[in-house]
Amino acid sequence: MKFAIIEFPGSNCDHDAYHATKHVLGQQAEFIWHKDTDLRGADVVVLPGGFSYGDYLRTGAIARFSPVMARVREFADGGGPVIGICNGFQVLLEAGLLEGALLRNRALKFLCQHVHVRVEQTDTPFTDGATAGQVLRLPIAHGEGNYYAPPEKVASLEASRQVIFRYCAADGSVVDTANPNGSLDAIAGVCNPRRNVVGLMPHPERACESALGSADGLVVLESAIAAVVAKGAA
């Protein structure tokens, strides 16, 4: 199966995603330049982390108008699995493929550290191999990861189980001291109503080998592989 990794000018985790999918997981992976208008038969689309367009205006605000985003939208509308990681999450929010926004971290500092997140829902293509409540140790590296949506929107996301990842302590408890950036309801990742588009601030693709400090991110990418295989077999 094939992962398409979208490259915007300023993406810098594109090679991390490529390495994880191709070399660690042994899948096909292909970079797709943001001006391309063909996803070249990809089964899963990854919007990687970085600083697309230098974060000018707002994070992800310019990238959402890249030509490839029309194809990503069609792919998502057709039910294809799409994951946005960090800046990729910011792009998906700006594009309206996911709901909410990301504000500056509450302490106004860029954060580069490992955090714990709890898998809240397992009925997405990126968490179906995880168990509900499973705690993952993943790195974050962002200045604007403070998830915000109006209170009524947060309530509706919670009610429809669209909060997929939540910052937590190592034991899985959701406490304010484990919330690195001030995100509402400690939200680290959400999905769309159809549940095939997932975005999160932490970097599962940078946590796929224990030599790099954690292999907890593997379950996210392995879930996607299993989801595509299951869909093909169905």
Partner 1 sequence: MKTRVFVTLKTSVFDPQGRTIVEALQSMGYAAVRDVRQGKFFELDVDAATADEARTIAAEVADKLLANPVIESYRVEVDEAAVGVDRQ
Residue numbers of the site for partner 1 (CB under 8 A)?
57-58, 61, 65, 93-94, 99-101, 103-104, 106-108, 148-150
Count of other CB atoms within 10 angstroms of residue 220: 31
**Closer to partner 1 at the Cβ: 181 or 214?**
181
Cβ atoms of 138 and 216 within 8 Å: the answer is: yes
Q: How far is the CB of 143 from partner 1 (least distance, A)?
A: 12
Q: Which is nearer to partner 1, 108 or 234 (CB)?
A: 108
Closest distance to partner 1 from the beta carbon of 104 (Å): 6
CB of 58 to partner 1, least distance (A): 6
Distance CA 20, CA 186 (A): 27
Do the Cβ atoms of 10 and 50 come closer than 8 Å?
A: yes
- In the bound complex, what is the minimum distance in angstroms from residue 161's beta carbon to partner 1? 21
List 7, 120, 205, 222, catalytic entry: 205
- 9 vs 172, which CB is nearer to partner 1? 9
d(CA 10, CA 198): 21
Shortest Cβ 153–partner 1 spacing (Å): 8
Ramachandran angles phi, psi of 56, nearest 5°: -60, 145
Q: Which of 142, 144, 203, 208 is catalytic?
A: 203
Of residues 3 and 167, the one with the C-beta less far from partner 1: 167
Tokens for 117? Answer: 């997140």
Beta strand 111-119 with 101-103 is: unpaired
Closest CB to partner 1 among 29 and 149? 149
Kindly name the residue from 7, 34, 86, 208 that is annotated as catalytic. Answer: 86
Neighbours of 213 (CB within 10 A): 13
DSSP secondary structure letters along 55-112: G-SSTTTTGGGSTHHHHHHHHHHTT--EEEETHHHHHHHHTTSS--EEEPPTTS--EE
Catalytic-residue membership of 203: yes
Catalytic residue set: 86, 203, 205
